[in-house]
Chains A and B, each alone.
Chain A
């Protein structure tokens, strides 16, 4: 039983590290896409850098409430589900 508790604690810590890394990655990809979107749009030629920053910040604000960001919680859900299914299939 001690083993199970240890697994839960260590697993939670490791998955939190993965969660943070995936969050950073996902945010970075989104920011890069917004930057490219602004830079490749010919309508934006000659506009101020402040406007570019505002556009990107608005996009990031939208990202913060997006489903995509919330789906990162699967980092916790999938391993837990896999472990539960494995234990069930092996022992019953």
Chain B
């Protein structure tokens, strides 16, 4: 039984870590160096299985929950592999890109289109995943001309955001510890004293609650 609980605990922990990592990987910006081959829009049906990967229906491009006219950008990598981006406004809540210039972005992407013989390399900043099975596409956020197919890009935004998130986690833990030490423990001690003097159980209700949350 104890072994089973241990496995359970670790499974939940690992799932939680994977979920957080996946969430960050989906949301944080990434850069691709590609050659834009086509830009277009097409009517796209958004269903319950993939609507989470599209923008909220009220964020601009089309005001329907199921069928929308969505802009797409086709591109090819240096090696010949291809990728398709969607180009949608993000709306105002999540993910927090505050993007509302999809039309302009589409025009810029069209302007940077090039053929295989005289390739023009473009850095596409995007977030999201391409999963063909679910018909989901990464959302392009910005395009600019690259210096070449092997330009090195330092992901400054990700560095800053991750450092900030670590800072938040540390602060929350410290605040929680402070709250516990200064508010809960004295209160628990008071209650325990009162209970002890009334000749009730030596552990006390708060003592048990405290142990439940891992206190001593």
Interface residues, chain A, CB within 8 Å of chain B?
2-4, 6-7, 21-22, 25, 28-29, 32, 83, 86-87, 89-91
Contact = CB atoms under 8 A, between A and B. Distances in A.
B98 A91 contact: yes
Contacts of A6: 92
B105 to A, nearest CB: 9
A65 to B, nearest CB: 22
Nearest to A32: B182
A7 B93 contact: yes
Given A21-B175, A28-B178, A28-B179, 13 more contacts: A3-B56, A3-B93, A25-B174, A25-B175, A25-B178, A25-B179, A29-B178, A32-B178, A83-B96, A90-B97, A90-B98, A91-B100, A91-B104
B193 interface: no
Contacts of B28: none
11 contacts: A3-B56, A3-B92, A3-B93, A7-B92, A7-B93, A25-B175, A25-B179, A32-B178, A89-B142, A90-B99, A91-B99
B182 A4 contact: no
B155 to A, nearest CB: 14
| Nearest 9 CB-CB pairings of A with B | A87-B98, A3-B92, A7-B92, A91-B101, A25-B175, A90-B99, A28-B182, A90-B97, A4-B92
A71 to B, nearest CB: 14
Interface in B149-206: 174-175, 178-179, 182
Contacts of A7: 92-93
Give the size range of B's interface with the partner. Answer: 20 to 34
B95 to A, nearest CB: 10
Interface of B: 56, 58-59, 91-93, 96-101, 104, 141-142, 174-175, 178-179, 182
Contacts of A87: 98
A3 B100 CA distance: 12
Contacts of B141: 90
B98 A83 contact: yes
Contacts of A83: 96, 98
A27 to B, nearest CB: 10
Contacts of A25: 174-175, 178-179
Contacts of A22: 175
Nearest to B160: A82
A87 B89 CA distance: 12
A89 B101 CA distance: 11
A86 B98 contact: yes
Contacts of A21: 175
Interface centre among B59, B91, B92, B141 (most CB of A within 10 A): B92
A6 B59 CA distance: 13
